[in-house]
Structures are given as C-alpha cells and as structure tokens.
DNA sequence: TGCAAATAATACTAATCAGTATCTTTTATG
DNA sequence: CATAAAAGATACTGATTAGTATTATTTGCA
C-alpha cells in the first residue's frame, strides 16, 4: 500500500474508533488529526469535508466489518434457528471490535445521524438492509429445508431479531455490563425455538 | 404556578423538544434561550449548568411521561399478552409526543449519554429499570392468573420486549417511516402468543 | 536528473460553545 | 411603603469548531 493510501486508511480507522466511543458530532477533526498524527492539510487532501470522511468510514470500515460478522455467517444457512442465535451471540460476546460500554457502531451512528443527515441515512440504510436480507434469506432457506414452520414470516423475524439486537446493545451501554446480553440471549433462544 | 416556576418549566419542556430532535450535546444553551425567549441570566438562575438542566429534563419531563404511557397501563394487569402488546402499540403508533423520525427520547438519550456521563446513566437507569419491572411484574401476574406458561422467565421477557421496542424505534428513525413498526408488531404479537 | 503532480504542513478565520460577572427589575413580606 | 431576596437581563470570556489559503515537501516518471 502506498503512503498516501496508508494515510487515508489510518484516518478512517482511527476516526471509526473515535466515532464509536464519542459519537460522530462529538468527534472533532482537530482530535482526529491529533490522534492520527496527520495534519489538517493531509486530512482535507483526502476528504472533501467531515461528512465525506464520515461516509467513507461507513462504507469502507463499517460495511465490510458487518458483512464479515453478520452476513457471511448466514449465507447458505439452512438451519437459521441455530445460525441466527450463533451470529447474535458472536456479535454480542465474541467480537473484539465492539465493547459493551459503547454498543453497536451501526446502531449508534444510525440513531445519531439518520434524523438529521439524509446522506448518512442512505449509506446506513444500504448496510442495514443487507443485514436484514441476510436474516430473512436464512429463514426462507430454513422454511424450504423444513427446519422452520411454513407460516413463519421471514421479514418479520428479520426485523424482530435485528430490533432485539439493537435494543439489548443499548441496555449494555446503559448498565455497562454484559449480564443483560445473557438474559437477552436466553429469550432469543426460546423465541427462535418457537419458529420450528 | 408562579412566574419563576413557569420559566423553569418552559425551559425544561422546550429543552426536551430540542434534545429529542437534535440530541443533547448538539442542543446548545444559546439555542435553548433563543427558542424559550428566556435570557441566559434566567437560565443559570434556575440551573447550575447544562447537565443539571439535562438531568432535570429526565427526572421532571421524561420520567413522568414514561410512567404514564408504559408503567400505568401494565400495573394490575393480569393479561400481559394483550396488555404488553397494547402498550407497545400505543407507544409506537398512538403517542402524540413522539415522532417516527426522532425515535424514543429515552432510547436516544441513553445511547448518547450513558457511555460518557455517569450522572445521566444513573437517572436513566432508574427510569428504565422501572419500565422493565412493570413488564416483568405483569408477566408474573399473568403466570399466577394462568394466562402465561409457568416456565416463562418474566425478566427475560421484559428485556426482550424492551429491546425489541428500542430496536424498532431505531429502524423507524432510519427509514423515517412507521411501516416497520407494523412489521415488528405482528411478530411481537406472535411472540407474545407463544408465552401462553 | 529535472519537473510536474501528488501529498502534506502551517497558520489563519469566523462562528459557536458553556459559563461568568455585573447589573437591573420584580416579588414577597415586614 | 420599604427593603431584601428572588428572578431576569446584558455583555463578556477563553476554548473549540469546521473549514480555507498558502506554502512546503515528497513522489513518480520523462
């Protein structure tokens, strides 16, 4: 990787970390260039403005990461009752890039930015829709394979699972403890069993 | 109500509106005093600082409102399958103080402030715990009344329902549409029926 | 090697932020 | 009515913000 490309990637990754912890609007460009040791001239060479950088963080850092941990594990799954549970369990408890205290980066950014910035809404919608579709598709596969009741609505399940995941992430932030994750996962397990 | 008490209440209510729409940190005191037509001297007479005002918004505006719409409808309920559904339905679709685009005020503030401000965490935890307890208690009542299976874990249900509600609120913000609420409510209905 | 383009560095601006110091007006009570 | 306290008004501060203008350096390539 060339030096310039490296500078750009450094900005994106460090910015992601700062936004994850402090929120987007509370993450100033001055702090970003201080932590990255990149000058303001370099920053504005690589990005048109702050929002341009924020959008790049979504598309080039968050999107690939979510694909890896949420979508890939569900593709070609014909046993969604187990695979969805495992995916959510992994997302909550086994992901080294997320911390209980700071919740889910996608959830955080959606909540903060979607009502006040249409461009953020769009890139986040694309990301979130793909997550929903992955869950939906796995449920459809399960229905075909007979591991899920035929009268289960796959879209409803997708929204229900994603909503639950986002919501319990917020509890985790509030209590700063993973205890609630275990409580949630037990009930998620019951719920998913009920789809059989 | 005296003039001073009225000034204070005006600040709290308008601040709530601004925080609900723009977030806490993005709501400046200058904007608050501009929209309330209250001077900065008056603001700092009634509140020690911005956080003091923010905490008062939680305790004196959000807490009573949440008690009214979430806790009261569940108290003395022995038919939680229906009453929890109705409560969530009302919260999502029939509450005049909330808008799809801006989500749930408690959820918003929790997400924004709990990781970075311990004092906010505490007042929000008190509020949220009471909501959870109301759901939990209604489930326990349902178990005693026989309308809910004995092997259902009431705490798990409370976390699951609250998580789902918070999560779908975030979808509503992202899509700026109540369509997803209906999808969610259908699956919530199925889930609650499964508790019988 | 020389030179143009890519990349980075520095210093600045105008706006906005939370908070303070000081002053004036209103209110309640003797 | 007099007076003290409550309540509100005004003007300011130093810090921080996103962004810009200008200059300097590094890089690839002829």
- Across chain B, mean pLDDT equals 96
CB pairs under 8 A between A and B: 140
Q: Which nucleotides of strand C lie within 7 A of protein CB?
A: 6-12, 16-23, 26-28
**Torsion angle of C-alpha atoms B169, B175, B176, B180, degrees rounded to 10:** -50
Q: How far apart are CA B157 and CA A138, in angstroms?
A: 25
- Per-residue pLDDT at A80: 93
**Mean per-residue pLDDT for B31-35?**
97
Burial A151-183 (b: 16+ CB within 10 A, else e): ebbbbbbbbbbbbbbbbbbbbbbbbeeeebbeb
**Mean per-residue pLDDT for A41-62?**
97
Query: Which residues in chain B (14-33) have CB-CB distances under 8 A to chain A?
Result: 21-23, 25-26
Q: Least CA distance to A107: which residue of chain B?
A: B170
- Per-residue pLDDT at B1: 66
Q: Least CA distance to A123: which residue of chain B?
A: B174
Q: Which domains does chain B have, with CATH numbers?
A: 50-193 (1.10.357.10)
Closest partner CB to A180 (pick from B103, B159, B187): B159
Q: How far is the CA of A45 from the C1' of C5 (A)?
A: 13
- Per-residue pLDDT at A4: 72
CB A157 within 8 A of CB A149: no
Q: How far is the CA of A40 from the C1' of C4 (A)?
A: 24
pLDDT in tens, A66-109: 999 999 999 888 899 999 999 999 999 999 999 999 999 999 99
- Per-residue pLDDT at A149: 96
- Per-residue pLDDT at A1: 65
Q: How far apart are CA A136 and CA A142, in angstroms?
A: 10
**Mean per-residue pLDDT for B138-144?**
96
pLDDT in tens, A156-190: 999 999 999 999 999 999 999 999 999 999 999 99
């Amino acid at each position: 990787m060339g030096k310039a490309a490296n500078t750009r990637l450094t900005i994106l990754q460090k910015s992601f970390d700062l936004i994850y912890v402090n929120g987007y609007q509370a993450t100033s460009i001055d702090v970003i260039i201080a932590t990255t040791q990149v000058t303001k001239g370099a920053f504005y060479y690589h990005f048109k403005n702050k929002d341009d950088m924020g959008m790049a963080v979504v598309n080039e850092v968050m999107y690939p990461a979510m694909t890896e941990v949420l979508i890939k594990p569900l593709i070609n799954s014909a046993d969604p009752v187990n695979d969805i549970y495992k995916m959510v369990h992994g997302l909550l408890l086994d992901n080294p890039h997320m911390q209980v205290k700071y919740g889910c980066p996608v959830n955080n950014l959606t909540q903060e930015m979607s009502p006040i910035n249409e461009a953020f809404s769009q890139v986040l919608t694309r990301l979130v829709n793909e997550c929903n579709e992955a869950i939906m598709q796995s449920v459809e596969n399960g229905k075909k394979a007979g591991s899920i009741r035929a009268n289960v609505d796959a879209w409803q399940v997708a929204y229900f699972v994603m909503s639950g995941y986002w919501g319990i992430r917020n509890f985790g932030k509030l209590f700063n403890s993973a205890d609630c994750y275990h409580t949630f996962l037990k009930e998620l397990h019951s719920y998913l069993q009920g789809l059989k």
